[in-house]
Amino acid sequence: MIDLRSDTVTHPTPAMREAMANVIVGDDVYGEDPTVNKLEQDAADVFGKEAGLFVASGTQGNLVSLMTHCQRGDEIIVGDQAHIFKYEQGGSASLGGIMPHIIPVQPDGTLAFEDIEHAIRGNNIHFPRTRLVAIENTQGTLGGLPLSPQYMQDIADLAHKHGLILHVDGARIFNASTHFNVPVADMVTDADSVTFCLSKGLCAPVGSIIVGSKEFIAEARRVRKVLGGGMRQVGVLAAAGLIALHDMTKRLQVDHDNAHYLAESLSEVPGVDVMSSATNFVFFLLKEDAKLSPAEFVTEMKSRKIILSPYPGFERKFRCVMHYWIDRERIDTVVTNMKAILS
């Protein structure tokens, strides 16, 4: 099967399976799993932060971060296309009592600074307290858009000027740092917390990491525990995470080149309009006058062992995500099959 739906479908690499089988573990709730401790410290070092915390998922990482930074009744400023707002069940509101203040995400994936400043509440007994700004990099729903190191510095400065915390949902931050060819630490120099996913394009089977100050991470460890995220011999996962962090982050340019290659190849497929291509994402539209309906197209591709599905909430928009298990040969197979059934 060639699965293009997401980089979350990536299986662990052979090196990861080997490492997982042989890893030394301990009870991580007691802080005694050496492999988890190493992964957390290595991640902190790579990001230029003091400490790290392994969590079960990106969703848990964002929730733990927001609940650690905010009190009940606090407000966060977040984009209307952000994963935190759209795809996390409103968990920070339902579980943390944190109110989202939504501002539009711009077509380039950024939040406009005048929108942020406009959203900040004054000191008034009627208002919730604005506590935090959350920014996503790469911006997922609009197409894996990378936000520049300069923008990231500017938004951190803006937040801090107003006494606010900056949280970065960096699920795919290594794709952004690869795009700009800078160390990931330079993307988040003054961010107060960052979450990133080991389990997407980095191929680990499970897990995300939060990085930040020692104080923040100590508090986040408590919040993770109450959310049921205190895990035991989790070194079996951290072993894969170490390979994700140190090795898989170095090969993402291949995925970006492949996305570019796919987008170019798709432009020759009848009934298809390439909408965008950035980092490891390609979006295309199955046109109204295409030979097949979206449902027929999906079924026909599946019978050819290629998995694609319309992007959630859209009928004709498809997302293809490049990752370790998609090479040029597979891209050629996808394009050949699409030409065959859409011509």
Q: Which residues lie near ligand PLP (CB under 6 A)?
A: 57-59, 62, 83, 136, 140, 169, 171, 197, 199, 208
Beta strands in 29-188 (DSSP E): 51-55, 74-79, 99-103, 129-136, 165-169
CB of 121 to ligand PLP, least distance (A): 25
List CB contacts of 265: < 8 A, sequence separation 6 or more: 331, 332, 335
What Rg value do the Cα atoms of the chain yield, rounded?
21
CB of 208 to ligand PLP, least distance (A): 6
Count CB-CB contacts under 10 A for residue 163.
Answer: 9
Judged by CB, which is closer to ligand PLP: 31, or 312?
312
Residue 229 burial class via C-beta count within 10 angstroms: exposed 0-12, middle 13-18, buried 19 and up? buried
Count CB-CB contacts under 10 A for residue 239.
Answer: 27
Residue 212 pairs in a beta bridge with: 51, 193
DSSP string, 155-200: HHHHHHHTT-EEEEE-TTHHHHHHHHTS-GGGGSTT-SEEEEESSS
H or E segment to which residue 69 belongs: helix 58-69
Query: Is there a contact between 25 and 32 (Cβ–Cβ < 8 Å)?
Result: no
* Cα maximum dimension of the chain: 64
CB of 170 to ligand PLP, least distance (A): 8
Task: Tell the residue number behind the tokens 């291949």, with chain if given.
Answer: 254
**What CA–CA distances, in Å, run from 333 to 83, 85, 173?**
31, 36, 29
Residue 134, classed as helix, strand or coil, is strand
Nearest residue to ligand PLP on Cβ basis? 58
Distance CA 54, CA 234 (A): 9
Judged by CB, which is closer to ligand PLP: 193, or 199?
199
Judged by CB, which is closer to ligand PLP: 144, or 271?
144
Judged by CB, which is closer to ligand PLP: 74, or 169?
169
CB of 166 to ligand PLP, least distance (A): 16
Judged by CB, which is closer to ligand PLP: 58, or 149?
58
Judged by CB, which is closer to ligand PLP: 13, or 59?
59
Judged by CB, which is closer to ligand PLP: 88, or 301?
88
Judged by CB, which is closer to ligand PLP: 26, or 230?
230
Helix axes 58-69, 214-226, angle to 10 degrees: 110
CB of 88 to ligand PLP, least distance (A): 7
Judged by CB, which is closer to ligand PLP: 64, or 334?
64
CB of 300 to ligand PLP, least distance (A): 28
CB of 229 to ligand PLP, least distance (A): 12
Question: In terms of DSSP bridges, do strands 306-307 and 2-3 run parallel, antiparallel, or are they unpaired?
Answer: parallel
Distance CA 163, CA 158 (A): 9
